[in-house]
Amino acid sequence: MKLDSIKIQQNYEKILEDIKKYSPYPEKVKILFVSKYFDVEEHKALIEMGYDYFGENRAQLYRDKLSEFSDEKYKNIKWDFIGRLQKNKIKYIINSVNLIHSIDSYELLDEINKKAIENDRIINGLIQVNVSKEESKTGVYIEDFKKDSEKYFSMSNVKIIGFMTMAPFEASESEINDYFLNMRKLKEEYQKQHDYVTEISMGMSNDYVEALKNGATIIRIGSKLFE
Ligand SMILES: *Cc1c(COP(=O)(O)O)cnc(C)c1O
């Protein structure tokens, strides 16, 4: 793909404007540039343009890509993981990941914690919530999380700093609003108990405005930036 830097910048600035327009706390909101669409050369071009916060969704590709960014000049680039994570692939991301958005079960969390201990790392993570209870989606149901939430916060080497969700693709605007509002309430409830619970990762190219209105702090944007 030929990257059009001017177009990307215009799109990025439009989203920054939307953050100011729609978010109750614009200064807290980050745009995660979802970079799964790009190969290494394209990705290097994006970094040249000044972008420095990226999200990848495949553990193996994450590992392969990051091996190309070991140079000193890439040391301030932040890499988040946003995709489904199999336990046997945690090792591909554990030493470099900035934030894991997609911790979709207690078992996975426990396994990440073990790998974090082995590698002497403290990992920041988000619990992925299946807010719409769609069967095709992974994630913890809100009521299951609430039943024994404290076990999620008891890990020695994984700090749960918030929640992530994906709204169903076919949901109406008002349904999406309800889902996102539930996420905000969930985060606020747990922030009272753990002041480091500050993040809500929600909103993609097609629903980030609703996410912003409902207090998202990280919006995960891919196609909207380059299309
Ligand atoms: C691909 C992806 C995104 C970005 O999707 P766009 O519609 O291209 O903005 C966000 N979150 C996750 C988990 C993804 O896999």
Ligand 1 atom 11, closest CA: 220
Task: Compute, in angstroms, the gap from residue 20 CA to the centroid of ligand 1.
Answer: 22
Tokens representing 190 are 């747990």
Q: Where are the alpha helices (DSSP H) in the chain?
A: 5-22, 40-48, 59-66, 106-118, 142-147, 173-193, 208-213, 223-226
Q: Is 36 in the pocket of ligand 1 (CB under 6 A)?
A: yes
| Residue 220 and residue 201 in contact, taking contact as beta carbons nearer than 8 Å | yes
Hey, which of 12, 30, 34 would you mutate to test ligand 1's pocket, going by the most ligand atoms within 8 Å of its Cβ?
A: 34
Tokens representing 86 are 């199999």
Measured between alpha carbons, how far is 59 from 99 in angstroms, rounded to an integer? 13
Ligand 1 atom 7, closest CA: 205
| Residue 133 and residue 104 in contact, taking contact as beta carbons nearer than 8 Å | no
CATH number, domain containing residue 210:
3.20.20.10
Tokens representing 94 are 């554990």
**Below-50 pLDDT ranges, the chain:** none
Tokens representing 26 are 């614009």
Tokens representing 82 are 């946003």
Task: Compute, in angstroms, the gap from residue 150 CA to the centroid of ligand 1.
Answer: 29
Measured between alpha carbons, how far is 145 from 164 in angstroms, rounded to an integer? 13
Domain that holds residue 171: 5-225
Cβ burial of 166 (10 Å; 0-12, 13-18, 19+) is buried
pLDDT of residue 109: 98
The full length of the chain comes to 227
Measured between alpha carbons, how far is 205 from 187 in angstroms, rounded to an integer? 22
pLDDT of residue 134: 85
Q: How many domains does the chain have?
A: 1
- Tell me the C-alpha to C-alpha distance, in Å, between residue 200 and each of 46, 51, 90: 25, 21, 22
- Its pTM stands at 0.97
Q: What is the pLDDT of residues 130-141, one digit of tens each?
A: 999 888 889 999
| Residue 166 and residue 206 in contact, taking contact as beta carbons nearer than 8 Å | no
pLDDT of residue 206: 95
SS3 of residue 216 by DSSP = coil
Q: Is 222 in the pocket of ligand 1 (CB under 6 A)?
A: yes
Q: Is 84 in the pocket of ligand 1 (CB under 6 A)?
A: no
pLDDT of residue 170: 87
Hey, which of 14, 57, 84 would you mutate to test ligand 1's pocket, going by the most ligand atoms within 8 Å of its Cβ?
A: 57
Q: Is 138 in the pocket of ligand 1 (CB under 6 A)?
A: no
Q: Is 139 in the pocket of ligand 1 (CB under 6 A)?
A: no
Q: Is 34 in the pocket of ligand 1 (CB under 6 A)?
A: yes
The DSSP letter of residue 161 is E
pLDDT of residue 2: 74
Measured between alpha carbons, how far is 51 from 165 in angstroms, rounded to an integer? 24
Torsion angle of the four alpha carbons 172, 55, 90, 113, in this order, in degrees rounded to the nearest 10: -80
